[in-house]
Amino acid sequence: MSPIFFYFDLVSPYAYLASNLIETLAAKHGREVEWRPFRIGVAVVKVMGLKPAMETPLKSDYIRTDVSRMAKVLGLGITSNLQMFDPVPAQRVLHGAKLEDRARLAKALLHARWVEDLDLTNNSTLVDIAGSAGVDGLTVQNALESLDTKIAVRHATEEAIALGVFGSPTFRIENELFWGVDRLWLVDHYLQEGCRYIAAAGDSASKS
């Protein structure tokens, strides 16, 4: 059975919210989660030609309210600081760690940023966060200095965009994409129905 591919960027508070939900949902349906970090800024700014959400009038104010109330409903803590930051150093650390450590490390990084309001652009902070997730400091330092991890971040982003991913979080099941933590109910429904959609009004036939 194929995994649920979880595309996320550490700059997204919605990715943090989703990181607390996706594994429980996957387990309900006997699926694994494959964590796929990518750079949403490349998709939004360079590919779609849009401004970052927190730099967009009206939308940015809405997001501040939306993130806060969603976290409250889910019983999760969240910082009021929703400012953007450079996610590349932390993403390089993710790509430098072992695959079996990625989920645990990603959750630690997301929690550090969106609950503790820690600076993910600071190397010492990254070492500390990684250590709390069982990843040693030497691995972090090598990841921050290695050309391989820089290339890996770029390739992961290009791959995600090639598949049609443009937002964080996005969930992929086989060839279907679901964008947003507020679409997890639809992921649940899709998996519950055996990966078949019920035909919408006006459809001549449902997917099989």
CA dist., res. 175 & res. 56, Å (int)? 31
Diameter of the chain measured on Cα atoms: 58
Q: Sign of the C-alpha dihedral, residues 54, 57, 59, 65?
A: positive
Would you give per-residue pLDDT tens digits along the chain (208 residues)?
899 999 999 999 999 999 999 999 999 999 999 999 999 988 776 776 767 777 778 888 999 999 999 999 999 999 999 999 999 999 999 999 999 999 999 999 999 999 999 999 999 999 999 999 999 999 999 999 999 999 999 999 999 999 999 999 999 998 899 999 999 999 999 999 876 665 555 554 444 4
119 Cβ contact partners less than 8 Å away, ≥ 6 residues apart: 85, 125
Q: Which domains does the chain have, with CATH numbers?
A: 4-192 (3.40.30.10)
Which long-range contacts (C-beta less than 8 Å, at least 24 apart) are formed by 174-178?
Answer: 174/2
Strand arrangement, sheet containing 4-8: 33-37, 4-8, 170-173, 176-179
